[in-house]
Amino acid sequence: MPRLDAADKAMGRALYTGDISLPRMAHGKILGSPIAHGIIKRIDTSKAMALPGVLAVITGEDVPDECFGVSPARYDEHVLSKKKVLHVGDRVAAVAAIDEKTAEKALSLIEVEYMELPPILDPFEAIAKDAPLIHERYRGNINTFVDQAHGDVEKGFAESDFVKEETFVGNLTHQQPMEPHASIATWESDGTLVLYTSTQAPHYVQYMLAHVFHLPLGRIRVIRPTVGGGFGAKAGTSPLELCAPILSKITGRPVKMVYSREEMMLFGRGRHKQYMKYKLGLDRNGKIKAFESEIHLDGGAYASFGVATTYYAGNMMPTLYHIPNFKYKGIRVVTNKPACGAFRGHGVPQPRFAFECLLTMMADEMGIDPIEIRRRNSMDPNTRTVNDLDIQSCEFRATLDAVQKKSGWKEKYGKLPKGQGIGIGCGGFVSGAGYAIYRGQVQMSHEKGPEHFQKKSIFPHANAIVRVTEDGMAAILMIGVAEIGQGAETVMAQMCAEALGIPVSRMRVRAEDSDISPIDLGAYSSRVTLMGGHAVSRAGQAVVERMKPIAAAMLECDPSEVVARDARMYAANGRSVPWEEVARKYFNDNGPLVGTGWYKPRDGLGGDYKGATVGTSPAYSFGSSVCEASVDLETGKVKIEQFTDYHDCGVPINPMMARGQVEGAIVMGAGETIMEEILFDEKGRMMNPNLHGYLVMTIKDAPDIFSGLVESYEPEGPYGAKEIGEGTTLPVLGAVAHAIANATGVWVKELPITPERIRTALRAAKS
């Protein structure tokens, strides 16, 4: 089924935040720091204020003292810097003017005197003894520290016949959504703040506005127009969403603020660069006995999603393979760079890349086929992992079988000429986080003692309202799910229509306005299909339950017999009446026909140790990818020729869109593997803050892709469904790296795998 919003987007009718213009609207811009580390000694805004057309200028003195962020334990950013700047582009001042050109001119007239401090750009320098403190909150420049052990790791290595240690390095990358961040703020006469904004998580923005401005949620209305992509870049609250309301309050006008691409990249929130030191032990049959991981994450200047990122980087490793003994140490370090955040596959693609490479290296050394070694260790359904994550459905082994056959693996692996290679990579992800970012769980002491507790979600993660029109010919679905380009509204409409027993053509979705839409936690952690799907299905079922007594009277049967399907209400004997006639009769007798639904994960997800909630989920996806690539052995240039992927996403609600998610993930992941990287000079200035210097894979670079779906039935999912948006990125990096190694005979263990790095590895191998 095609997407509901496809025609509007293709024909240019979709309305993005940047397209909106309100009466008397002013335009705002933010002044970023030109230095990576320094103390603000003086700011003079008088010349900017004197410029004709300037309506307001604000600095750190004019904004609330409340900090904002993502994790409540790490709210560490002010709306504008108050004393110190921590990276190039850090916020110093903001202006509102009659147009954007005047606002930009005003920025150039603001005089700022800094006491420049040496920037610390390397995470290992930042945690060295006697290193200067970057952020006053983080002693030793460590933002998050994780130290976990599950099972008996020492015993596992002692029982291993083969042990290998390797170090891998990831890359700092950015999501590069087509539409940069944009926000418009205005205040209504009753004191209500209205914010139009391009966001993945409208409720979290609403919550953060309430926190910073000390407003009740009921006095904040967040409107999400069409969003041109996110991939994690828009999952947190941006400075635009906080500066625009302040400037609007001062000027008495609506204020629009839009990032340029350079400003968006300097705001950051891309993928952490991770330094991964791994140790893996296998028995002589290739079965995993123990795994030890130490990861340093370069987090940039602020926390953002970094607490969760640090846990995800380790906690997700045992979900794909049986790992009986597991140890993880994660250290997220503060540096003088833009903050890193959540990016498709949140925290896991680089660790998964490293693990896949290491497993393949060992398989080759032991003479075991790389797909076979994965098959021997593959996860099974109905398994509790060593770190207490609950796997329900799992067809991982079936994806391996399918991708092996479809790609012609047995005919190609080890048999291709030099310069041509084939590689395998695997991965999967959560179907929504088990707990919310804030007020996510409580600990309930039981009679056995305080060491026994049950973790519970204390409010619904997804909610839905369905209202049937008075003539019964349409159902309006009101949800807070964020459509950011992934097709969420279409899938929600499909599942709700299924529950109602009417065609999707009768559905209308209203998900853009917090005054209309009930709370949903947003589009992140691949949560929408499972969590939003449950809410909309239950809302549809609630409508049908209200209709059943009416239909039963019309059909002269018991209400328990009534079934809604194909836009009719059926009795057990086959008699039926049109769905809309029943709906009209209900309205005539009872008034509006409305149903509500909600969803929260089941109680008790995860273990009893610190950080056990991160990585919990109602369900997990599984997938396998085979990459075929050619490498010019003289220049090191890589061409990715073919990708074959099979993914277990449960029961696919919309197979066409599911395959689209796979194809997008492959292109994105392949680009990250061979070309994408943000670069800085020695002063901490970003060297490539644009799409000329920061290369992304285009249609010209993209390989031929075959995307196959392996069905399982997920008991925790609506209609058996689970995620496919992020897990499909996870296999890609390892598959590409393996294909390049297979083509060249050398492993490149640092991303991106550029021609320069390939040539260096080839020279080293020759010497």
Residue 737 DSSP class: H
Which residues fall within 8 angstroms of residue 442, CB to CB, at 6 or more apart?
455, 456, 458
Are 383 and 353 contained in the same domain? yes
* Residue 131, domain member (yes or no): no
Q: Which domain holds residue 220?
A: 6-117+181-258
The pTM assigned to this predicted structure is 0.97
For the beta carbon of residue 19, count every other beta carbon within 10 angstroms: 11
Residue 428 tokens, joined: 């999967």
Task: Give the pLDDT of residue 442.
Answer: 38
- Characterize 586-597 residue by residue with b for buried, 16 or more Cβ atoms within 10 angstroms of its Cβ, and e for exposed: bbeeeeebebbb
Read off the amino acid at residue 251. T
- Identify the domain boundary among 576, 599, 622: 599
CA distance 204 to 190: 23
Are 681 and 553 contained in the same domain? no
Are 75 and 192 contained in the same domain? yes
Total domains in the fold of the chain: 3
Are 557 and 671 contained in the same domain? no
For 666-702, the DSSP string reads HHHHHHHHHT----B-TTS-BS--STTTS----TTTP
Residue with tokens 């391009």: 198
For 710-730, the DSSP string reads -----TTSGGGB---SSGGGH
- Identify the domain boundary among 258, 284, 315: 258
Query: Which residue, among 462, 526, 471, 525, has the nearest Cα to 496 in the 3D structure?
Result: 462
Task: Give the pLDDT of residue 458.
Answer: 74
| Distance from the Cα of residue 465 to its chain's centroid | 25
Tell me the three-class secondary structure of 339-398, residue by residue. Answer: CCCCCCCCCCHHHHHHHHHHHHHHHHHHCCCHHHHHHHHECCCCEECCCCCEECCCCHHH
Averages of pLDDT over each 10 residues, the chain, 767 residues: 94 98 99 99 99 99 98 95 99 99 99 99 98 98 98 99 99 98 99 99 97 96 99 98 99 99 99 99 99 99 98 98 99 99 99 99 99 99 98 99 99 98 99 82 39 64 98 98 97 99 99 97 97 99 99 98 98 98 98 98 92 96 99 98 99 98 98 99 99 97 98 98 98 99 99 99 96
For 574-613, the DSSP string reads S-EEEHHHHHHHHHHHHS-EEEEEEE-PPTT-S-SSTTTT
- Reduced to 3 states (helix: H, G, I; strand: E, B; else coil), residue 411 is helix
Are 223 and 281 contained in the same domain? no
CA distance 481 to 527: 10
End-to-end CA, the chain:
57
| 80 within 8 A of 133, measured Cβ to Cβ | no
| 232 within 8 A of 341, measured Cβ to Cβ | yes
Residue 475 tokens, joined: 């159902």
* Residue 738, domain member (yes or no): yes
Tell me whether strands 622-631 and 420-427 are parallel, antiparallel or unpaired: antiparallel
* Residue 139, domain member (yes or no): no
CA distance 316 to 638: 30
| 230 within 8 A of 201, measured Cβ to Cβ | no
- Identify the domain boundary among 539, 572, 599: 599
Are 279 and 300 contained in the same domain? yes
Task: Give the pLDDT of residue 459.
Answer: 85
CA distance 95 to 102: 9
Count Cβ atoms within 10 A of the Cβ of residue 642 and give its class: 0-12 exposed, 13-18 middle, 19 or more buried: middle
Are 589 and 628 contained in the same domain? no
| 58 within 8 A of 245, measured Cβ to Cβ | no
| 275 within 8 A of 203, measured Cβ to Cβ | no
At how many degrees (to 10) do helices 396-407 and 370-377 cross? 170
Are 318 and 407 contained in the same domain? yes
Are 408 and 507 contained in the same domain? no
Whether the bond into 177 is cis, omega within 30 of 0:
no
* Residue 137, domain member (yes or no): no
Rg (CA), the chain: 27
- Reduced to 3 states (helix: H, G, I; strand: E, B; else coil), residue 687 is coil
Q: In the sheet where 622-631 sits, what is the strand order? A: 420-427, 622-631, 638-648, 704-709
* Residue 450, domain member (yes or no): no
* Residue 127, domain member (yes or no): no
* Residue 733, domain member (yes or no): yes
Are 192 and 47 contained in the same domain? yes
Are 218 and 167 contained in the same domain? no
* Residue 323, domain member (yes or no): yes
CATH of the domain at 484: 3.30.365.10
CA distance 537 to 598: 9
Task: Give the pLDDT of residue 454.
Answer: 53
CA distance 361 to 494: 44
| 272 within 8 A of 239, measured Cβ to Cβ | no
Residue 634 tokens, joined: 């003289």
Are 188 and 168 contained in the same domain? no
